[in-house]
Amino acid sequence: MTDDELIWRIAGGSGDGIDSTSQNFAKALMRTGLDVFTHRHYPSRIRGGHTFVEVRAAGHPVKSRGDGYNFLLALGDSFARNPQDEAYYGNEEAKPLTENLDDLREGGVIVYDTGLLDEGDVDDLEERAAEEGWHVYPLDLRGLAREHGSEVMRNTAGVGATAALLGMDTGVFEELMDERMSGDVLATNVEILEMAHEEVSGMEHTHALQLPEGTHEDAADSPVLLSGSNAVAYGALDAGCRFIAGYPMTPWTDVFTIMSQNLPEMGGISEQVEDEIAAASLAIGASHAGVKAMSGSSGGGFALMSEPLGMAEMTETPIVLVEAMRAGPSTGMPTKPEQADLEHVLYTSQGDSNRVVFAPGTVREAYEQTRAAFEMAYEYHLPAIVVIDQKLSGEVAVIPDEFFDREPDPGLGAVLTEAELDEAAHHASGVFDRYRHDPESGVSPRSIPGQAGGRFLASGNEHTPQGHIAEDPDNRVAQMDRRARKLASVRAELDGRETSHQTPYGPEDAEYGILTWGSQQGTAEEAVDRLNDDGHSVKALGVSDLMPYPSAEVAAFLESVEECLVVEMNATAQFRGLTGKELGQYGEHLSSLLKYNGDPFEPAEVVEGFESIVGDADADGDASGESTRIVPAVGD
Partner 1 sequence: MSQSTNVFGAIGDAQEREEGIDREEFTPGIEPQATWCPGCGDFGVLKALKGAMPEVGRTPEEVLLVTGIGCSGKLSSYFDSYGFHSIHGRALPVARAAKLANPGLEVIAAGGDGDGYGIGGNHFTHTARENHDMTYIVFNNEIFGLTKGQTSPTSPKGHESKTQPHGSAKDPVRPLSMALSAGASYVARTAAVNPQQATEILAEAIEHDGFAHVDFLTQCPTWNKDAKQYVPYTDVQQSEEYDFDVHDRREAARMMHETEDALYEGTVLTGRYFVEEGRRSYGAEKAATGEAPETPLAERYFDPDYEWERSYDLLDRHR
Binding site for ligand TPP (CB under 6 A): 247-249, 276, 300-301, 304, 331
Question: Closer to ligand TPP at the Cβ: 92 or 276?
Answer: 276
Per partner kind, with CB cut-offs from 5 to 8 A, the member of ligand TPP, a copy of itself, ligand SF4, none near residue 315 is a copy of itself
Question: Closer to ligand SF4 at the Cβ: 80 or 196?
Answer: 80
Question: Closer to partner 1 at the Cβ: 199 or 307?
Answer: 307
Strand, helix or coil for residue 398: strand
**What span, in angstroms and rounded, lies between the C-alpha atoms of 290 and 284?**
10
Residues 47-76, interacting with ligand SF4 (CB under 6 A): 47
* Residue 331 CB, nearest approach to ligand TPP (Å): 6
Strand, helix or coil for residue 325: strand
Question: Closer to ligand TPP at the Cβ: 229 or 444?
Answer: 229
Question: Closer to ligand TPP at the Cβ: 248 or 507?
Answer: 248
Beta strand 590-595 with 628-631 is: antiparallel
Per partner kind, with CB cut-offs from 5 to 8 A, the member of partner 1, a copy of itself, ligand TPP, none near residue 251 is none
**Which amino acid does the sequence have at 100?**
N
C-alpha neighbours within 13 Å on the C-beta side of residue 545: 23
Could you tell me if residue 527 is left (phi over 0), alpha (psi between -120 and 50 degrees) or otherwise beta?
A: alpha
Per residue in 344-362, is it b (16+ CB within 10 Å) or e — as a string? bbbebbeeebbbbbbbbbb
Question: Closer to partner 1 at the Cβ: 2 or 350?
Answer: 350
| Neighbouring-strand partners of residue 50 | 13
The answer to whether residues 561 and 539 touch, using CB atoms and an 8 Å cutoff, is yes
Question: Closer to a copy of itself at the Cβ: 256 or 596?
Answer: 596
262 binds a copy of itself (CB under 8 A): no
* Residue 16 CB, nearest approach to partner 1 (Å): 12
One of 77, 113, 254, 313 touching a copy of itself (CB under 8 A): 313
338 binds a copy of itself (CB under 8 A): yes
Per-residue string for binding with a copy of itself, 342-381, x by CB under 8 A?
A: -xx-xxxxxxxxx---------------------------
79 binds ligand SF4 (CB under 6 A): no
Residue 577: what are its φ and ψ, rounded to 5°?
-60, -45
549 binds a copy of itself (CB under 8 A): no
Alpha-carbon separation of residue 508 from 579, 583, 586 (angstroms): 21, 21, 19
Q: Which contiguous run of DSSP H or E holds residue 421? A: helix 418-423
47 binds a copy of itself (CB under 8 A): no
Per partner kind, with CB cut-offs from 5 to 8 A, the member of ligand TPP, a copy of itself, partner 1, none near residue 256 is partner 1
Per-residue string for binding with ligand SF4, 13-52, x by CB under 6 A?
A: ---------------------------------xx-----
Question: Closer to ligand SF4 at the Cβ: 251 or 318?
Answer: 251
Give 510: exposed, middle or buried? Use CB within 10 Å, 0-12, 13-18, 19+. Answer: buried
* Residue 436 CB, nearest approach to partner 1 (Å): 15
* Residue 288 CB, nearest approach to ligand SF4 (Å): 26
Q: Which contiguous run of DSSP H or E holds residue 67? A: none
* Residue 460 CB, nearest approach to ligand SF4 (Å): 18
* Residue 271 CB, nearest approach to ligand TPP (Å): 15
* Residue 336 CB, nearest approach to ligand SF4 (Å): 19
The end-to-end CA distance of the chain, in Å, is 32
Alpha-carbon separation of residue 436 from 412, 443, 478 (angstroms): 20, 9, 9
Residues 423-462, interacting with a copy of itself (CB under 8 A): 428-429, 459-462
Question: Closer to ligand TPP at the Cβ: 42 or 247?
Answer: 247
**Which amino acid does the sequence have at 332?**
G
428 binds ligand SF4 (CB under 6 A): no
CB nearest ligand SF4: which residue?
46
**Which amino acid does the sequence have at 479?**
Q
Q: Which contiguous run of DSSP H or E holds residue 414? A: none
* Residue 256 CB, nearest approach to ligand SF4 (Å): 18
Per partner kind, with CB cut-offs from 5 to 8 A, the member of ligand TPP, a copy of itself, ligand SF4, none near residue 46 is ligand SF4
The answer to whether residues 307 and 376 touch, using CB atoms and an 8 Å cutoff, is no
452 binds ligand SF4 (CB under 6 A): no
Give 615: exposed, middle or buried? Use CB within 10 Å, 0-12, 13-18, 19+. Answer: middle
Alpha-carbon separation of residue 219 from 114, 399, 400, 521, 596 (angstroms): 36, 7, 7, 21, 33
The answer to whether residues 198 and 44 touch, using CB atoms and an 8 Å cutoff, is no
**Which amino acid does the sequence have at 526?**
E
Binding-site ranges for ligand SF4 (CB under 6 A): 46-47
